[in-house]
Structures are given as C-alpha cells and as structure tokens.
Structure 1
Amino acid sequence: MKNKIIIISLFWMLLFISGCEDFLDRPPLSNENDETAWTSEDKVRLYANQFYTGFFTGYSTDVSLFNDDVVQRGNQGNFTRSVPNSNIWSMKTLRSINILIDRVGNRMQDILPEEAYNHWMGIGRFFRGMEYADLVFTYGDVPYYDHVVSDIDMDDLYKARTPRNNVMDAVYDDLQFAFQNVRLNDGDQTVNRYIVAGFISRIALYEGTWQKYYYKNNERATKFLTLAKEASEFIINSNKYYIDSDFRTLFTSNDLKSNKECILFRNYNAEIKVTHSVAHYNNPANSINYGGTTDLLKAFLCVDGNVWQNSTTEGAKDFTIANLVKTRDSRFEGTFYDKPEINAKGSFLFPVKFFPRYGIKALEETGTVPNELKGSNNVTDAPILRYAEILLNWIESKAELATIGGSAVTQEDIDASINKIRDRPLAPEAVEKGVQKTKAMMLDALPNDPAKDPNVSSLLWEIRRERRMEFIFENLRLADLKRWSKLEYMDTDMHSELLSGAWVNFPVEAKDQLTAGNANEFSVTKADGTTIVYNGNNNAEMVGFYKATVTKGRQPFLNQVNVNPYLSPVGKTQMDNYESKGYKLQQTQGWPQN
C-alpha cells in the first residue's frame, strides 16, 4: 500500500451549491503524509472534497441522447452487442473512499467528537454506497470491498464477483447509516442529510423497481422501495423545498442559489475559468445532428390533462409545433424551440431546454447571441438534484408499493406530488405564446391512453409519463427504462416513430428546403402512416412528421443470443488477465462465459 495519500481540495474549481447558500472557496491544493493527515476535522473535510466533482458532475458538452426521446440523423446509438476486448469496473474511487472510512474509523475516534465522527463516517459510507450502486447498475455482480485492499494481496485483488443482492444489501446499510448520521447542515456547498436523502431516493427507487421487474423479487423490491419512500418523505416533510420557478429557468439561470427547487446544484464562474458549453449546443443557430422524436412529442399531455387522442382541447390533433406549444403541457414549450428548425437535423424539433430565453430573443432580433452563450463560455448553473425528482420518486415508490401489498395511493398523494409540479409558475414569455398550466391529475379520471403499455397500470403509466416530460435530456430516461425492464421502448423496429421528428408543413414553414438539390434527402410521414419522399416536384405533399432518408433504425438488441443490454459485459482481456494469475472472472449475466 502506498505510503502517501494526496489530499485534493481542487480549490473547488468546479463550485456547486446546496439550497440557497453562499459561495465557499475551498482551501488550496495541499499534500500531507498519511501519518499526519488524519489529525483534525478540517483535514478530513479536505480529503472528502475530492469526491464532489466526480459524483456531482453538472453540465457536460451535450445532453442525454441515447434513449427513446432522441432521434439521430443517420445511424442511431446502439447497445453493446458483443463482448469487447477491454472493459471492466474501476475500483480507484472506491479505494479512496475506503481509505477515508478506514482512517476516520481507526485513527480519529479519540480526535473527533462523537457527532463529528459519525458524520464523517456517514459521508464516507454515503459516497461508498453511491459508487457501488453505480457499479452494480452497470455490471450487476461486482467484487465488494469494505476495506482498503493491499496491492500485494492477490486473493483480494482478484476476488470473485460478489452477488448483486449482497452488494446492494451493503449499499443499503451504508446509505441508512449516512441517512441517520450525516449532519442536517455542514456549511455551504457540502453534503448534508437532505442531499443524502435525495440520492437515497434515486438509488433505492432504481433498485426497488429493478428487483420487482427484472428479478421479480417483491420482498427485496419492498425493502428498497420503502427506503425510497422514507428518504423522499424526509425531504418533503422538511418544508425546505418547493417548486418556485418556471421550468426553463431551472436550466438557464446564472444563479440558482435562491431557487427553492434546487437541493443541490453546480455553479459556474467565468472569472475562475469554470465554464461549460451546454447552452452552445442548445442554440438554435447551431447545427446539431439530433432532435426530439415523434414518439416523444405525442407522449405530451394536452392542457386538459388528457392524451391527444381523447382530448377536448381545441387543436389537440394539430401537431404543428406552434400549436403544440399552446395545447400541450408547459414543459413542451420549456424544452423545445417554438417552430421547426432545420438545424435540428435529426427531426426539426430543436431542444432549447438549456438555452436562456434572452438568448432566443437576441438571436431572433439580431441574428446572434451574447458571447457568454457561445462555445465553452457558458456559465448557467446546473441543477444536480431537484425537488421535482424527489416528488416523482416518492409518488412512484408509493404506487409501486401499492401493487405488492402497500397502501393505495390517494388523491392527496397525487396533489402533493404530481399536481404540485404541474402547478409550477409559467414564464411571461410562455404565457405570451398561449402556454397554459396542465389540469391537475385526478385518480378517478386517469387518461385512457391507446398507446399505454398493456402490462403497466394506468396510474404507473401516467407517473412514468410525468417523469418523461420532466426529465427530457437529463440522463434519467435510459436508467428508467432499464429499471422498468422496458428497453423494448427503444426498439426502432417495433416503434417507427422513434425515427421521425416534428410535424413540418414544408411549403409554409421550410420552403427553402424544397429544392431539386434536396430531392431524396428527406421524407414526411402522414397522420395515417403513409410516407412521402421528397422528389423535387411534390412540394404540396410535403406535410407530415419529418424524417431524413439517411436515418436508419437501431440494430437489434433484444432476444439476441449472448446479448444482455441491461448490464455491461467485462472485456476478454480482463478475463484473460484473471486467468493468467490463476483466478476466474465470471462474465456478466446474460453474456457468453468463454
């Protein structure tokens, strides 16, 4: 084992904030000898800081593209269909976390007061639970270590994979300990019990539904779903958070510190050169290769709370984008540009969820946008954990528990969760366009959706729809499909509307595209399913859901021999490495073992 431990503070070069608290500059970089590093709470805090940027990543260069909400022009993203040469979990972060737990547990019992000792043990176990949950959700069985591994202990380094359920029981215990012992408030920009509870609600909901739908183990499902419900209720009952801003402001504000929906967010600051580029990639003036799918836009509820097929909203069956803005749930306008945009080359349905409204205004009035919205100059804050997710985690966990012996969901439960989200404020710019709030969900009048999965109850179907509308491009959709055992929704052979996008009246809205040079470049699908390819002369017929002719379906990934899209395989090289040392590494469930 190495004698030196690098204690990294990173100056918190990537700052982020919990709740409405002020900035906190982290101390500068420092190195300590392992023998002298564990002598005060401040030094423990410094060591723990290294994990923040890894677990709470903020904005990257782009948005979540691999799911049934997004169509790519050309080839779609594909699931792994064969065992790679090289691929395996990394234990680097876990080793560092176990060092934290080991050193606090074995060297600081007489240094820290009991409350501080329990808090930092809770922080370490929270991070360990987070990391192991991520590994398990990716690989299933993984080697479990609750100690610092010696680099000369070959039996430990090359130990067999621990069964998933055993690992997740350890994760459960770690998260419970953190939930009971992490401080309610440990200062600005630090993990507190509300943040812990928020991530517990996410992790436990994932595992609970995975157990129910993938393993069909209702006993274990109940264990984790109950934890998800309790963790969510802790946050809800605190009355610290509520929905207080319009939808797009959550993702385009330069300062979220006063936003009561944000339990945790990351702040960006040009002065210290901590920026991102997500707004740049959501600028309608820039060309992107993707856009929203027809399947997604049809999933949006009308403002009367019904599906488009049965809605009494005037214009419910008119799919022009300008009409969808007025007739659909307000999150449609909050997510997409209000007219067909050729720069969304996959679908003409351009995402602007992460692009500020003032940038749209500047673009439309001057043809350009402010410099801070260009390239990697973006400084809009990134919500990491928000109250809307907690509300949806809570109502879903309750609804799932109700199917396996728990108490029934009530109208009061719906009012306290989904209907609070639907009642979020509207931006003035949205109101000017005719955007309205969606009618409250009523348990005794749930939509009769012809597109509903027959294996899902109407209540769960509507809860899942709410998540889809709320979390577009936020990296949760694929995880949701996996934990529901519903990756079939991404099968483009089964769902052709995953390959088309916005309804476009080309002669009116995109007449510049109707040129001889664009012949055979795109097609439209009519409401009756008929497809018309543009041939250079059939201009009047080019009205329907847009599809590029080069767009191809996803490769088959379901019911393939030795292919399990739900879990990642380990690489052949890693299996050979184990064998060369005299050990056996089992392949991931559902993949070939040789």
Structure 2
Amino acid sequence: MKLKTTYILALGLMTIGMTACKKDFLQRNPETEITEGVFFQSPADLETYSNGFYQQIEPNYSDINSDNISNYNANGEVDLLVRGGLSAANVGGWGKDDWEDLRRVNFMLDHIGQAKGDPVLIKHYVGIARFFRAMFYFDKIKKYSNVPWYGHVLSENDPELYKGQDPRALVVDSVLNDLNYAATNIKIDAKGKDTKTRVTKWAALALLSRFALHEGTFRKYHDELGLTSDYQRFLDIAVAASDKIMKEGGFELLSTGNGAADYRSLFSSPTLSGNKEMIMWADYNRELGVGNNTHTVLDYTWSLSRSLADTYLKTDGSPFTSSPGYNTKVYTEVFKDRDPRMAETIINPAFRGFNTLNEPYVIKATLGGYNQIKFYPRDPALRQGWQANYTGLPVFRYAEILLINAEAKAELGSISQIDLDQTINLLRSRVQMPPLNMGVAVDPVLAAMYPNVSTAVLLEIRRERRVETACEGFRFSDLMRWKSGNLFQDSQQGMYVPALGAMDVTGDGKPDIAILPHPDDESSIASIPAEERAKLSKFYLKDKAGKDQNFYLSNGNSGFIAFTRDRDQPRNFISPKYYYRPIPVGEVVANPQLKQVFGW
C-alpha cells in the first residue's frame, strides 16, 4: 500500500493545482494559475507542497512475483509474463496516472524561483523534490530501460510532448545528478525532530547506493544494452555512498543479544522511532488513522518457497542442502539447527499468535505449507484488519547498506576479509551465525542457481542478501539485475510430504492435518481415533468429481507440494525480452516516436 500522510493541506493544494489535463499527463492546466500565483513563496510553502510527495513511498512486505513465493493465486504481471499471456495489447503502465507523480515534482521545481528566504532551506526542499523524481525514474528504468526524460512540466505546444524515449545512459545520469544534489543539499534534520519518517541526506545516500548497485550490476550482466564497458563507475558510486553512510551516519544494527527477537522486532513493532538501524521508516499509527495490511502476509493467497527455505544455512554455517537426506525432511524437521532468521520469516511449528498469543497455527497445504510470518503483527492489539495494522515499516535500513557495500566490492573484485567483517559478518553475528570467510567453498546449489557468478564469496553474499531481506520486496529486482530470469520459470514448491495421510505440523506429536487422495478415500487415516480425526484439517488432491485441486505431490503419493497450474501451464522466460516491459500499443499509436525494445 502507499504510505499515507497526514498533510491534508498539502494534498488539498495538489488537488487544486494538478487536476485533469487537456491532452496529456504532462501538460499544464489553467487551473494551476491559482497555485502559481500565490504559492511557492517561502520555504514553508515548499515544505507543505513537498509533504504530498510522501504518498509515493510504498514500504514492501512481500516478495510476490519472485522465486521466494511458492503459490500466488492472482494473475500478477510476472505470472502472465512467464505463461505467455502478457503483450503490448493488454499491458498497462504508461497512462496519465503513471506519470502524475513526476508532474507533481516538476511542477514544484518549475516554480522554485518564486521562493524567497533562507537559501539553504530552499535547496533542502529542492533536494527533496529531486529525491522523489529520482525514485520515480528508478522505477521506470527498471521496467522499460529507455524512457523519455522530462525535467519540467510540459505545455500544450511543447515540442517534447510527443518525443520518443531518451537513451538509458542519459536518463540514468540524470537520476544520478538528482541524487547527488539531494545527498548534498538535504539537511540531516531541518527542525530538530525525529526526521527518520522524512527524507534526509542519509535516505538520499541510501537511494543512491541502491540505484548505483542496481545499474552497475544490470550493465555488467546485461550485454544486450551495449553498456557493459561502463558498469564499474556505478559500482564505485555504490561503494562510496554506502561507505559514507557506514562511516558518518551513526547507524548500527539493532543487536541487543537477543538474536531472532532483535530481527523480528524490525518488522513487527508498533514504532521504529529511536531504532538506530532505521535510515527511514514509515509510521503507521492508530492515532493518526493510518494503518497497513501486513496481516495479509499470513494465511492470504501466497506461501514462501522451498527454494527460499533451503537457502538458509545450518547453525554451524554449512549449507542445509549439503546435509544427507535434506530433501526428505518433513516440516517439523527442517527448522532444526537453522539460521534463526528462517523461523522469523517462515512459519514454523513453534509459532504462536495467529488468533491468540498462545494458539498454535495449523498450516495450509493448499499454499505449500511455508507461510510467511515476517512482518506479521504478533500482538493482536496491533492487528485490527484491513488497512488497520499499526506496525512501523522500514523504508531504508542499515542492513541493506551493508549488503550493498559487500556486493559492490565483490562485483568489483576488491572485497577483503575486513570488508566481510564490517558488513556480512555483522548481520550474521546479530543472529549468532558463524562468519563468512574469504576461503569459503563453492556451494554447488548456489553455483547452479547463478551460473554467471564465478566466485564463492559473491555467491554467499547473494545468499546473505536473500535471507536477510526476504519478503522486503528486493528479490524480483535482484534476479532481474543479475540476469537470472531462468529462476522465474522454475515451478516453486512447498514442504515435503512423506506419504498420504496425517501429519504433525505443530510439533506436539499429534496429527494436525491430513493430505488425502479425495473426499471419498480417507483410508490412510482410518486408524486414528475418531475424536482426533475430527480435528484434522483435511486437504484433498482431487475433489469429489475427480478433478485436480490446485496442488499435487511431486512423486504422486509423496513428495514436495507442487501446483497444478505450473504443471499444466509451464513457465517460460524469454531472454532478453522478458527483462523489460512493453509500452501499451495504444500509447505507441498515439505517439509513433515511442519504440518497443528487445523483441516486444
């Protein structure tokens, strides 16, 4: 969901100043004359207007559309893509509403010259606007690669109104200019308040770090762009920006010695105020009437994947997939002696707090069994329903900066043990996991997953990024920039089921669920006492008419939970075409200067 603000005045002024356009989403409207004439006169006006930009910030709390998800019932864009159902004829994303956020930012920047007052404060709010413009274009670049750069609001007769896309290199450098300006001119604390719910110079540096890592690795691995020779510049920027945050920002990981509990509190606490790991966070507060939907991560329409579950190391630091018999361990066994972050991300037999704080949760086989609990509000008082959960959510946290720093240095080939100790090993230490050493052996499972990576350390950094930031919305973009689209076509699976019949999934030694052939065949649970049998949650491979349900077992009567849709409609990822999205055909007809890219 979008981050809502309490600045009703700002939203009201934006409604007056930026309502319907005559011909195009970037065109001026005479109704803006009221705003142009009387507004933007002071830093206070700039603050009021720029407060409306914060609705663009959308904290993520799921990895939908990535290989971290085992089942997702909705027809999302990526789901359509890999099944061949997405085309320029049915895609969205280029209409008026998709550009309105840019127009709002440029409208303010076009009128900065009217403001009188402290030049430092004026530059501060210019920096805020340019931060949001950079964020807007970052998303557009990730989706389309080449997009038109607009640095001002267009008039009805502006010759740029119907221009084609600008080269990716031009737009990327324009984004860098915006972020460098923002990082230089945004004040750390404009009013002496807790500004971590506002954009600060550290948030600008965090976005710069994120953007530079993305662009550097995208150029390195995507030779179809013809920009491979210029990838190192961006990785150097990512290192410099993250280094500055690490050395000067005063941030640190939340680590009180409570390991898993410290990690959990980052995603399910009523407030993140005062948390030194937060560079920026979103405040969802009952008193402000602003809530989120984090309760939907559990028991809604998706579950987490076996692929993600297998990625977590054992507590001795060895890969789980190197353990004998790892691929036949049942649900109550896979969490034993594992990285504590696993049980704080994926529901486990010890989980309590679904309806009451002490009630065990019974997993649903139809979703794969590995339900997400990261971000789930554990306290029922913070979990009141749709748009009524009151937990603070990270926007930028220090852990991501450490991961960016390590990955950029590894991609550059300059990483050392000191670098690992100052980044990856701080994350592992928080949850009492063994450190990563430069001499680590290659994990063949990771090597098969990322065949374009040649060093064991970089593979392990990718592992660490996946487990530390699981469900925070990074995985899709990570696979895209690493040119790992092949993983989107893999049919993700859920937990292992040794045989049809009853299973214990709460760890108390008593059966809780039963997976059965169909409603008329319960022979495999006939020996269970009637009272216990009546309490079982039953799931059937076929319905009464003999029709397949949404899941099956990979070996027939045993195996991993898999999904009939993946079996009947196989996924396919076409490279490089699917790393980009098409422009809707109607937009190309309206503006012939727009050109489709890479096969669309």
Q: TM-score per shorter chain, which class?
A: 0.7 to 0.9
Change (3 A) 1:123 1:548: closer
Aligned partner of 2:425: which letter?
N
Aligned partner of 1:488: which letter?
N
The equivalent position to 1:116 in structure 2, one of 117, 121, 132, is: 121
The equivalent position to 1:295 in structure 2, one of 294, 304, 307, is: 307
Change (3 A) 1:26 1:235: farther
- TM-score w.r.t. the length of structure 1 is 0.79
Residue of structure 1 in register with 2:526 after alignment: none
1:203 and 2:207 correspond = no
Residue of structure 1 in register with 2:452 after alignment: 455
1:471 and 2:454 correspond = no
1:423 and 2:429 correspond = yes
Aligned partner of 1:352: which letter?
I
Residue of structure 2 in register with 1:125 after alignment: 130
Structure-1 separation of matches of 2:382 and 2:275: 25
Residue of structure 1 in register with 2:435 after alignment: 440
The equivalent position to 2:493 in structure 1, one of 477, 484, 500, is: 500
Structure-1 separation of matches of 2:578 and 2:372: 27
Change (3 A) 1:217 1:482: same
Say if 2:71 and 2:563, in contact at 8 Å, map to a contact too: no
Q: Counterpart of 2:502 in 1: which secondary structure?
A: helix
Structure-2 separation of matches of 1:512 and 1:133: 47
- Return the offset for 1:465: 1.0
Residue of structure 1 in register with 2:268 after alignment: 252
Aligned partner of 2:43: which letter?
E
Structure-2 separation of matches of 1:127 and 1:185: 18
1:53 and 2:55 correspond = yes
Structure-2 separation of matches of 1:128 and 1:35: 24
Aligned residues: 509
Change (3 A) 1:375 1:567: same
Structure-1 separation of matches of 2:154 and 2:594: 18
The Cα offsets for residues 122-173 of structure 1, whole Å up to 9 and x where unpaired, read as 22222222211211111111111222211232x2110111111111111111
- Return the offset for 1:451: 4.2
Change (3 A) 1:590 1:548: closer
1:135 and 2:140 correspond = yes
The Cα offsets for residues 472-492 of structure 1, whole Å up to 9 and x where unpaired, read as 222110100111111111112
Aligned partner of 1:304: which letter?
D
For structure 1, list consecutive stretches of 5 or more residues without a partner in the other structure: 1-9, 16-23, 359-368, 403-407, 426-436, 493-497, 526-530, 534-541
Relative to structure 2, which stretch is displaced further, 68-77 or 328-337?
68-77
Instruction: Describe how 1:335-346 pairs up with structure 2 within 5 A.
Output: 335-339=345-349, 341-343=362-364, 345-346=366-367
- Return the offset for 1:446: 3.9
Q: Counterpart of 1:296 in 2: which secondary structure?
A: helix
The Cα offsets for residues 448-499 of structure 1, whole Å up to 9 and x where unpaired, read as 334413321212111111111122222110100111111111112xxxxx43
The Cα offsets for residues 286-341 of structure 1, whole Å up to 9 and x where unpaired, read as 4x3321222221122111222124359xx967633333323221111010111394
Relative to structure 2, which stretch is displaced further, 114-123 or 471-480?
114-123
Q: CA RMSD of the aligned region, Å?
A: 2.8
- Return the offset for 1:391: 0.6
The equivalent position to 1:384 in structure 2, one of 395, 398, 404, is: 395
1:94 and 2:102 correspond = yes
Instruction: Describe how 1:121-520 pairs up with structure 2 within 5 A.
Output: 121-153=126-158, 155-187=159-191, 188=195, 189-214=197-222, 215=225, 217-245=227-255, 246-279=262-295, 281-283=296-298, 286=299, 288-310=300-322, 319-339=329-349, 341-343=362-364, 345-358=366-379, 372-402=383-413, 408-424=414-430, 437-452=432-447, 453-456=450-453, 457-492=455-490, 498-505=491-498, 506-509=501-504, 510-514=512-516, 516-517=518-519, 518-520=540-542
Change (3 A) 1:169 1:36: same
Structure-2 separation of matches of 1:195 and 1:400: 24
For structure 2, list consecutive stretches of 5 or more residues without a partner in the other structure: 17-33, 256-261, 350-360, 505-511, 520-539, 543-548
The Cα offsets for residues 244-286 of structure 1, whole Å up to 9 and x where unpaired, read as 152221111111112211111111122332112222x234xx4
Q: Counterpart of 1:444 in 2: which secondary structure?
A: coil
- Return the offset for 1:113: 3.0
- Return the offset for 1:57: 1.6
- Return the offset for 1:553: 6.4
Residue of structure 1 in register with 2:595 after alignment: 586
Residue of structure 1 in register with 2:522 after alignment: none
- TM-score w.r.t. the length of structure 2 is 0.78
Structure-1 separation of matches of 2:278 and 2:9: 21
Aligned partner of 2:369: which letter?
F
Structure-2 separation of matches of 1:33 and 1:195: 29
The Cα offsets for residues 198-242 of structure 1, whole Å up to 9 and x where unpaired, read as 111111111111111113634421121111111111111125211
Say if 1:304 and 1:311, in contact at 8 Å, map to a contact too: no
Say if 1:267 and 1:381, in contact at 8 Å, map to a contact too: yes
Aligned partner of 2:595: which letter?
Q
- Return the offset for 1:14: 3.2
Q: Counterpart of 1:256 in 2: which secondary structure?
A: coil
Identity %: 28
- Return the offset for 1:443: 1.0
Say if 2:301 and 2:367, in contact at 8 Å, map to a contact too: yes
Aligned partner of 2:207: which letter?
F
Q: Counterpart of 2:579 in 1: which secondary structure?
A: coil
Residue of structure 2 in register with 1:536 after alignment: none
Structure-2 separation of matches of 1:371 and 1:166: 46
Q: Counterpart of 2:66 in 1: which secondary structure?
A: coil
Structure-2 separation of matches of 1:571 and 1:292: 32
Relative to structure 2, which stretch is displaced further, 507-516 or 205-214?
507-516
Say if 1:139 and 1:567, in contact at 8 Å, map to a contact too: yes
- Return the offset for 1:26: 8.2
Aligned partner of 1:210: which letter?
F
- Return the offset for 1:184: 2.1
- Return the offset for 1:43: 0.3
Change (3 A) 1:549 1:156: closer
Q: Counterpart of 2:562 in 1: which secondary structure?
A: strand
Say if 1:74 and 1:550, in contact at 8 Å, map to a contact too: no
Q: Counterpart of 2:218 in 1: which secondary structure?
A: helix
- Return the offset for 1:417: 0.6
Q: Counterpart of 1:265 in 2: which secondary structure?
A: strand
Change (3 A) 1:219 1:117: farther
Structure-2 separation of matches of 1:274 and 1:545: 40
